A = this chain, B = another copy of it.
């Protein structure tokens, strides 16, 4: 009974050949129903499962997709963003019975070894790359290989890649118009790092929206690094400029900004109206609750998987999927939520 449990063995027990068992396992077409029944009985009884590596080798397809999250990982996981993204991706891979392989790397020597591991033939069928910084060498590297991949976010040279992003620019513009609509006249901006495309898009969108409303940030602008602490410091600096509103390019930085406002003895939204971006920090975590531009992170992840499967399937003309954002009006901006059917 120590015979290995493979197709041949299952076939032997069911009185058929390896090939017939294989056909049953793969959907059962071109097999008589009687034979199929018998083979399935043996499979159920023995608990046979096809050997993944053998299957990958023979079919040249692994059923695994990789998710690459580069650099600065330690800080990234304090941000719920990646958790949500992984959730969406995982849910989509489950739907199509694929497995998710996670490639996280901090900076350092392991970076290059992981990059090359990602493109190892026979390991994954395709890769989802999260592009956080501009000019990320990872994207260039991927383009130099034949590994199918899609980018979550907007790389600089987006033209030639498949990518899934949210409309950061439009979302930020909406935030500007919302603040202007509330009668605020001295808006400030706590921007996200300008070496990320998301940071640039949010900044530009906000400035664009202000311009449309006849407003400007003038010198009321400061840049954070996504962290809560950086938001707090940025707000501290801005307070000297006496702003009556601030758009913070991420929820986490906004939490820090709220703290700075409170510690300066000012009131939000009374003295300063706050709108943030992400919609990812649980609203009840802050007081007042944050009004923010919500991006559909989980959907982005799901969509990235679906897009990747088409690339694996042979799609070759780059496709850019852009999700809209939605403004969730709560207390921090000073508007009465119910009175605001914003878009």
Q: A-side interface residues toward B, CB under 8 Å?
A: 49-57, 62, 64, 73-74, 77-78, 80, 82-84, 86-87, 90-91, 94-95, 97, 99-106, 110, 113-114, 116-117, 119-123, 228-229, 232, 255-256, 259, 282, 284-285, 287
Beta-carbon contact of A285 and B117 below 8 Å: no
| A64-B78 Cα distance, complex, nearest whole Å | 26
| A101-B102 Cα distance, complex, nearest whole Å | 6
Contacts of A103 in B (CB 8 A): 99-100
Contacts of A73 in B (CB 8 A): 87, 90
Contacts of A259 in B (CB 8 A): 284, 287
**17 further interface pairs, Cβ-Cβ under 8 Å (given A55-B122, A86-B102):** A49-B119, A51-B122, A52-B122, A53-B123, A54-B57, A57-B57, A64-B101, A77-B86, A90-B104, A91-B104, A99-B117, A99-B123, A100-B104, A101-B101, A102-B102, A228-B284, A259-B284
Copies in the complex: 2
CB distance from A299 to the nearest CB of B (A): 14
Beta-carbon contact of B49 and A121 below 8 Å: yes
| A51-B282 Cα distance, complex, nearest whole Å | 44
Beta-carbon contact of A104 and B83 below 8 Å: no
Partner of A255, one of B77, B104, B285: B285
| A114-B104 Cα distance, complex, nearest whole Å | 23
| A27-B106 Cα distance, complex, nearest whole Å | 26
Contacts of A95 in B (CB 8 A): 110
A48, closest chain B residue (CB)? B121
| A110-B91 Cα distance, complex, nearest whole Å | 10
Beta-carbon contact of A122 and B285 below 8 Å: no
